[in-house]
Amino acid sequence: MTDPANDRPTLVIKVGGNDLDDATFVAELARVVAAIRPLPVLVHGGGKEIGILQETLGSTPRFVGGLRYTDATALTAAEMVLCGSVSTRLVAALIAAGADALGISGVDRGLIRVVKQEHPAGDLGRVGRPTAVRSEVLRDLLDQGVIPVIAPIALGPDGPYNVNADEAAGAVAAALGVSEAVFVTNVPGVLVKGDVMRRLTRSEIERLIADGTISGGMIPKVRAALTALDAGVHAARITNLEGLLNQGTTIITERVPHE
């Protein structure tokens, strides 16, 4: 995992929002992330907390093709949760674990630029697709010994947009030139007949989905990994917190010749 700009490895870690309301999980995540050297970049989601706040604000969450439809109220809820409560919770935990950390959204300093996301299933509202990342902003923070904690609210031509956290992580990883993005979940990897697969290709993933081996909640996890590959990352790994550093299932576009 090497950043060619400064010839040092940088790990991009994406953690889903559904785990981030568990204080024990957040504390352990912070402990593990704070100990990683060189320092990583952390991208997070907001999960069910966004939907809860959206309902409190008088709006009903709805989804198009599995993605959250983002109207004005949903965007406000996403901004408050992602840039506010979740970001603050993660930064506080990292500092308590001995790290230096800074919460930053894709809007701050124009870190992540987007255009409106088009989807064949219908209009998504203010959902953005990343088109550019100011990687130098993140490199500067890392050089100062600061872990960037990125909330996936990004800047479009007409203001803020909500961004799928998996897509944001893939775009950040591609911009930094890392060879791998890690998606932290509640499972140790992709299971086939009870065993964690060490490595899978894109075509193997599609076959395992088609035959029902990969099903239920694992489907969006592997789709997230494929999203990172689409962004230009060479490999994406699915693992749990315990296996964050070197375990889990690595998904690649195709097998290298010697394999």
What per-residue confidence (pLDDT) applies to 255? 56
Span 157-163, mean pLDDT? 96
Three-state secondary structure call for residue 143: helix
- What pTM was computed for the model? 0.90
Domain ranges of the chain: 7-178, 184-259
Q: What are phi and psi for residue 138, nearest 5 degrees?
A: -75, -40
Residue 212 structure tokens: 């029902």
- What's the one-letter identity of residue 251? I
Q: Give the confidence band of 9 by pLDDT, cuts at 50, 70, 90.
A: low
pLDDT tens per residue across span 21-59: 899 999 999 999 999 999 999 999 998 899 999 999 999
Span 210-232, mean pLDDT? 85
Q: Is the pLDDT of residue 80 over 80?
A: yes
State how far the Cα of 57 lies from the Cα of 53, in Å rounded to an integer.
6
Span 207-221, mean pLDDT? 87
State how far the Cα of 205 lies from the Cα of 219, in Å rounded to an integer.
9
Q: List the one residue out of 225, 221, 233 whose CA is nearest residue 251.
A: 225
Q: List the one residue out of 89, 84, 99 whose CA is nearest residue 41.
A: 99
- Residue 100 in contact with residue 146, Cβ under 8 Å? yes
Looking at the chain, the whole-number percentage of residues with pLDDT higher than 70 is 94
What kind of fold does domain 7-178 have according to CATH?
A: Carbamate kinase (3.40.1160)
- What's the one-letter identity of residue 104? I
